[in-house]
Structure formats: C-alpha cells, structure tokens
Amino acid sequence: MAKKEVEATVAKAEKGPMDLTEVEARTLTALDKAGQKGLTRGELATKTDIKKGWARILGAASKEDGGGNWDKSLEGRGLVKQAVNEESRAMTITITALGKKALAKHGK
C-alpha cells in the first residue's frame, strides 16, 4: 500500500468512529502497557491469550498490500505500527497515538 493510501486511511479513521472489538481492545491494551518497546506477535499471543488470527487483527505485515482485510485491521486503520527490530529481526508492533485515542474512547 502506498504511503498516500495509508495516510488517507489514517485520516479517514480519525474522522470516523473508532469502535473496537474486545479482541482489538485487549491487543491495544497489551501494546499500551508495553510502551515504545512494543511486542512481537508471540508476546501479544501470550499477553492477550489470543492464539491465532493475528494477520486479520493487525494486518498481514509480510504482504505488500497488507493482506485481504487491510482496511479493517489495526494497522490499516492507523492504530498500530509494525516494524522489524534490527537486533532480533522480529516484527515488533507498537501502539500509535491514534490507537491510544481509540483505546481511551473504548474505555468510556
């Protein structure tokens, strides 16, 4: 997905409702507690007790287009960011400011 498409998706998400499912809220809560360090998918699975479905929840980081459910995924909506950790070569997921905003709204 091109950078402009991602920015458009994030802008759209900021204007629209940020309703979260319970699975998404648990995921964002774990990432929020981890802070800037972030978590790998394995660590998220342990902390949230969600064992599968991460490509659908987060977005398929290994696919250039983000996978089939990109617009519905947390990364596609701009709520999380995935990056390769240079030291461990593992994909690390962190919560974005927009993700924190959605999580706070969910808690109300």
Map out the domains of the chain as residue ranges.
3-107
Q: Which is nearest to 106 in space by CA: 47, 25, 13, 17?
A: 25
Residue 65 CA: distances (Å) to CA of 31, 76, 88: 23, 10, 24
Tokens of 91: 């994909």
Nearest CA to 75 out of 18, 6, 2, 25 is that of 6
Architecture field, domain 3-107: Orthogonal Bundle (1.10)
Question: What's the pLDDT tens digit per position in 1-15?
Answer: 455 555 555 555 544
Nearest to 42 by CA among 104, 106, 96, 85: 85
**pTM of the predicted structure, to 2 decimals:** 0.76
- Using alpha carbons, select from 9, 2, 26, 11 the residue that is nearest to residue 72: 9
Q: Where are the beta strands (DSSP E) in 1-108?
A: 80-84, 91-95
Q: Tell the residue number behind the tokens 């701009």, with chain if given.
A: 78
Quick: pLDDT tens for 51-76: 888 888 888 755 555 455 677 889 88
Q: What is the pLDDT of residue 15?
A: 47
